[in-house]
Amino acid sequence: MDARITDEPAKARTDLPPAAPPAGVNGSRPANRSRPAGGSGAAGGSGTAGVARPVGAARPVGAAAVRRAGAGLTAGALTWATAISIFGSTGVGVGERVVDLTGLCFQLGVFCLLWVQLRTRAIGTSRAAAIALRVEAVVLGVASVWSLLHGVLPDDLKNAAWLAPLDLCWPLSMLGMAAISVKLATAGRWSGLLRWWPLVAESWAVVTVPSFLLVGEDLSRWVGAGHLVIGYAALGLMLVARPGQVLGSPASGRA
């Protein structure tokens, strides 16, 4: 063997693949790329890194959304109040249909109010409180279907017997709102006038139905229309002007 000793450096081999750089060098990641449980990015997809929203918790609602809901309530109440003052609480012929359909506008406005009450947990943070508001929404929804059908169906169908149970939900929904106003005031989660004014607004059925029985249609129409303006329409304007009174810290705990 002809062995020679030299001080020339050995040539690098080119028949081997390049070695991978150590973890963390030149932007490389460690081999273990496992992610924390609960999804990628924000924890559990909650929108806030590392903080998951509790199951069943209401999403936060902003002042702008409360103002829009208040405007819807005021618009619906004023629309129905105008129709009642012109055609009466029941109306005749075309006037009856106008009262029904404007009553539907009012019911949609009450849905706006219910939405704010549900999102702010106005009557308490317990499961029973949330269920009560959802039950009221169902009853009000059935009453709204009656208003629509009674306003658009032909005369020989709109007074059919199968619509009677739907019609019953009209006064039941208003009595339900009256009960909610009492619970809202005692829960103390809204503040200022908005804590107490629902007692005025949501007593509409309690005030107008007896007035109809006592003084008849001619006078009770003004009671009903005036109460809508003073009660629900004013309540909507308060939501527009003072959304912070329904978004602030609660005055009491669970209810």
**pLDDT score of 113:** 98
pTM over 0.75: no
Predicted local confidence at residue 185, as pLDDT: 96
Tell me what the mean pLDDT of segment 53-72 comes to. Answer: 78
pLDDT digits (tens, 9 = 90+) for 203-222: 988 888 888 778 777 788 89
Give pairs for 240-246: CB < 8 Å, separation 24+: 240/67, 240/70, 240/71, 240/74, 242/192, 242/193, 242/194, 243/63, 243/66, 243/67, 243/70, 244/63, 245/190, 245/191, 245/192, 245/193, 245/194, 245/195, 246/66, 246/116, 246/120, 246/122, 246/190, 246/194
Q: Read off the pLDDT of each residue in 112-122 and give the average, rounded to a whole number.
A: 97
Confidence of residue 228 (pLDDT cuts 50, 70, 90): very high
User: Range with the lowest mean pLDDT among 34-43, 123-132, 148-157, 193-202?
Assistant: 34-43
Residues 42-59 pLDDT 10s: 444 444 444 444 444 556
Residue 164 binned pLDDT confidence (cut-offs 50, 70, 90) = confident
- pLDDT of amino acid 2: 54
Q: What percent of the chain has pLDDT over 90?
A: 56
Q: What's residue 9's pLDDT?
A: 58
